[in-house]
Structure 1
């Protein structure tokens, strides 16, 4: 299954992310990134069992403050937050199991 939703160029502020209640999955990348495109089937497969999880796909790159505030350097980077606090992250997942393990933390 392909997750075809594009990365959004409109990122929320770090302050609003930090105040987000519950769980939130941030996915940083770009639509043109080969690693990001290759990871989409694995991400989509893992998310099938987590339909209630809020998932934001954020376009990242030079001059994008949200990704920099989380120390993102490689794409895609998935960060699981709980009540605004980072719980775990995975960088460049190649298999659904990697994302599933992230979501189970």
Structure 2
């Protein structure tokens, strides 16, 4: 799937996320968030050569159950999953290396 530019209109449930197979990235944020918009180039670059990694962009906010289940406090928060289990997390990424390291954990055999 690779990079997704638009937030999902209907985010998945926690149960659906827990059932994911392979590597995936949950990106929590909001379309109006300056930090989120500023991180998009880094995120897109990190995912550009990884079509096997599912990127799920979730609009977050008060009362949104998926973000609360991951205890998201700041945007963007990227939760890296392997077979539905969190293996890494990056909050407000500043460097490509942070994302590459987290993706390596999600893609580990």
What TM-score does the superposition give when structure 1 sets the normalisation length?
0.92
| 1:49, distance to aligned residue in structure 2 (A) | 2.4
SS of equivalent to 2:74? coil
Q: Quote the residue 1:95 is aligned against.
A: 95
**5+ unaligned residues in a row in structure 1: which ranges?**
none
Q: Deviations over 1:39-61 (max 9, x none)?
A: 00011111122122110000000
| Consecutive unaligned residues in structure 2, runs of 5 or more | none
Partner in structure 1 of residue 30 of structure 2? 30
Q: Distance in 2 between the 1:45 and 1:5 partners?
A: 12
- Alignment partner, residue 63 of structure 2: 63
Residue 9 of structure 1: CA displacement?
A: 3.4
SS at match of 2:17: helix
Q: How many residues align?
A: 103
**CA RMSD, 1 decimal:** 1.3
> Counterpart of 1:104 in 2: which secondary structure?
helix
TM-score of the pair, normalised by structure 2: 0.88
Q: Once superposed, which parts of structure 1, at least 4 consecutive aligned residues long, lie more than 4 Å away?
A: none
Confirm or deny: 8 A CA contact 2:23 2:80 kept in the other structure.
Answer: yes
